[in-house]
Structure 1
Amino acid sequence: MTNTRRSPWRFGVPLVCLLAGLLLAATHGVSGGAEIRRSDAPRLVDLVRQTQSSVSRLDAEHEALTNRIDSVHGRSADTALAAMLRRSAELAGEADMNPVAGPGLVVRLRDAQRDADGRFPRDATPDDLVVHQQDIEAVLNALWTAGAEAIQIQDQRIIATSVARCVGNTLLLNGRTYSPPYTITAIGDPSAMQDALDAAPLVTLYKQYVVRFGLGYEEEVKSNVEIVGHTEPVRLHFAEPLGPVGY
C-alpha cells in the first residue's frame, strides 16, 4: 500500500485567501468605500505650521499693544498706575462719584397714617396706603427733568446704575432696604424742580392720594444741601464706549 503525503499548501493557500478577504472587507467597512490615505487629508505637519503661524500673529499683536501702552504711560508700572488713577479721579465727578453741595430741594414721602381713632379711611385698599416704586420714580424723573445736578435717596447717591425697587412696604436700593418715610434730596434750581413736580402727572396723582387717603408728601427748599459720593464698586454688565478715551 502506497503512503501518499498531502502538501500543506493544499490547506494554507485557501486559508491565506480567506484572511485576505476578511481584511479587505474590514478595511472597506471602516473607510466607507472611500480612500483611506487621501492626498487632501490634513497632516500633522500642516497643523503644526498653522498653530505656529497663529502664535506668531498673536505675539505680534501683544507686542504692538505693549508698545502702545508704553508710549502713553512710559515703561514704569508705577507711572502707568498713577496715570490711570489720575484719569479715574477726573471721571469720578462726571460719573456722580464725588460728594457735592449746593442749593436744592428735599422731598419726603411716607405711608398713610391712622386717624385719631386708629383707623384708616374706610374705602381704602392696602395699596392705597403705601408709597410705591412708581411714586418714587415719578419724583426722581421730575427732578432730573428740571436739571437736578445730583440726587440722593435716604443716605445713598443715585448714579446711572441705581435702581429703586419696592419690596412690600420697604424700599430696596443697591442691596440695602429702607422703611418709610423716604427722603429724596436734590441739588439744583429749587423753583424749577418744584415746577417740574407740579407738572408731573404721576406726582399729581400721588398728591390726590395724599388728600384722600392721608399719604405723606412734603417739599422743603434749602439754601444748601450736601449729597454724599458713591463709594461702592460700580459693576457694569454691558458697556459701550462713547468715543476714544485718552489718558
Structure 2
Amino acid sequence: MPQPPPVRRTVTRPSRPDASMSLLTNVMDHSLDDGYAEAAARRRAEGAGGMPKTVRARLGLAAGLVLAALVVTVGAAQARVAAPTVAKERQELIDRIDRETEAADKLETKVDALRDDVSARQRQALKSGGGEGTDLVGILSGAVEVHGPGVKLVVDDAKEASVGGNGDPRQTAGFSDTGRLRDRDMQRVINGLWQSGAEAVSINGQRLTALSAIRAAGDAILVDNRPLVPPYTVLAVGDGERLSRRFQDSADGLYLHALQENYGIRTAISAQADLKLPAAPSVIVRTAEPSTENTGKGTS
C-alpha cells in the first residue's frame, strides 16, 4: 500500500516583544551614525586618534597637565591662606554691627525717655494754666489720659482677601487686595466717630489728636508714622449707646457697612461701660496772644 506523504509542520516562532517598536529598536542598535563610525575608523587607520605619537606632542601635553595642576594647587593654597583672614574680617564686621545695634538701642531708649519727659511737662503746663476749660482742653488735645463710657470698634481685613482688578476703584498702588482695609478707609472711620460725638479716640492703644495723620506706606497703615497691625481696635469715649447708633447711621458708618458687605471686611461694634485711653505720646503745645498793634484804632 502506498504510504501517505509526510505531513510538514510549520513551527511558529513567537514574535519579539519589541516587534512593534522597530523604530526605537533601530535607534538603540545603531546609536552611532554610520558616518561617524566611518570617520572614527578612518582616524584610527591613519593613526590620528589616541595619544600623541611624537615626542614633542607628548612633551606639550605633559607641560599642559603640569601647568593645570600648578594652577589648581596655587589656587587651593591661596584659598587656604586667605580663609583665616576672611573669617577674621567677617567676625569684625559682626562685632561692629552688634556694637552699632546696641548704641542705636540705647539712643532709642533715651529718645523715649525724653519724649515721656516732654509729654509730662506739657501736661503739667496745661494743668497749671488754670481756667475752667483746662480739663476739657487736656482731653480734647490728647494731653491727659481719659476713661469713661464709649464705643469699641474692631475692624479687620477680610478672612480670605481676594485680589482686586478690572478697574476696581478701590484698587490703588500698594493696596491691590480689595479685601484689605486701607488708610483712606480708616480715615473715614475715625472722622465718622469724631462727627458722631466722640470726645477721645485711640487706635490699637495709640491716642489720636487733632494733628494725627493716618497715611499708608506700601501695604501698611501708619498713624503718626507708626505702623498698625490688624485687627484694628478703635476705642472712642463718649455716650456709648448714642455714639454707636449715630456712627452706624452716619455716612461713614454706612461706608464701613458697605465694605463689610462687598469686600468681606470684618467689623464688630459694641457699647462699653468704661474705657481707658492713654495720653498722646507727643503733644505740640501752641499758645496765642492777642495783637496790640491796632488797639484803639479804627478801620478805614
TM-score, L = length of structure 1: 0.54
Distance 1:98 1:83, change over 3 A: closer
In structure 2, the partner of 1:160 is: 210
CA RMSD for the aligned pairs?
A: 3.2
Give the SS at the match of 2:143.
Answer: coil
Q: Work out the CA distance in 2 between the residues paired with 1:187 and 1:204.
A: 21
Q: Work out the CA distance in 2 between the residues paired with 1:83 and 1:138.
A: 33
Q: Work out the CA distance in 1 between the residues paired with 2:125 and 2:217.
A: 43
Residue-pair matches, total: 156
In structure 2, the partner of 1:16 is: none
In structure 2, the partner of 1:96 is: 142
Q: 1:94, CA displacement in angstroms?
A: 4.8
Give the SS at the match of 1:128.
Answer: coil
Distance 1:88 1:163, change over 3 A: farther
In structure 1, the partner of 2:192 is: 142
In structure 2, the partner of 1:61 is: none
Q: 1:169, CA displacement in angstroms?
A: 2.9
Structure 2 residues not aligned, in runs of 5+ = 1-123, 292-300
Distance 1:195 1:243, change over 3 A: farther
In structure 2, the partner of 1:87 is: 129
**Structure 1 outlier segments of 4+, above 6 Å:** 82-85, 121-125
Query: Relative contact order (C-alpha < 8 Å, sep 6+): which is higher?
Result: 1
Q: 1:180, CA displacement in angstroms?
A: 1.3
In structure 2, the partner of 1:241 is: 288
Q: 1:93, CA displacement in angstroms?
A: 4.1
Distance 1:84 1:201, change over 3 A: closer
Q: Work out the CA distance in 1 between the residues paired with 2:229 and 2:283.
A: 24
Q: 1:185, CA displacement in angstroms?
A: 0.3
In structure 2, the partner of 1:208 is: 258
Q: Work out the CA distance in 2 between the residues paired with 1:84 and 1:211.
A: 45
AA aligned to 1:143 is L
Q: Work out the CA distance in 2 between the residues paired with 1:183 and 1:103.
A: 16
AA aligned to 2:144 is N
Q: Work out the CA distance in 2 between the residues paired with 1:84 and 1:179.
A: 32
Q: Work out the CA distance in 2 between the residues paired with 1:102 and 1:170.
A: 31
Distance 1:92 1:202, change over 3 A: closer
Distance 1:98 1:84, change over 3 A: closer
Q: 1:157, CA displacement in angstroms?
A: 0.9
Q: 1:112, CA displacement in angstroms?
A: 1.0
AA aligned to 2:247 is L
In structure 2, the partner of 1:226 is: 276
Give the SS at the match of 2:129.
Answer: helix
Measured against aligned partners, the alpha-carbon deviations of 1:124-164 in whole angstroms (never above 9, x if no partner) come to 86342111222212221221122211111112111121111
Structure 1 residues not aligned, in runs of 5+ = 1-81
AA aligned to 2:223 is L
Q: Work out the CA distance in 1 between the residues paired with 2:181 and 2:204.
A: 14
Q: 1:196, CA displacement in angstroms?
A: 2.4
CA contact under 8 A between 2:192 and 2:252: conserved in structure 1?
no
Deviates most, 164-173 or 143-152: 164-173
Distance 1:88 1:151, change over 3 A: farther
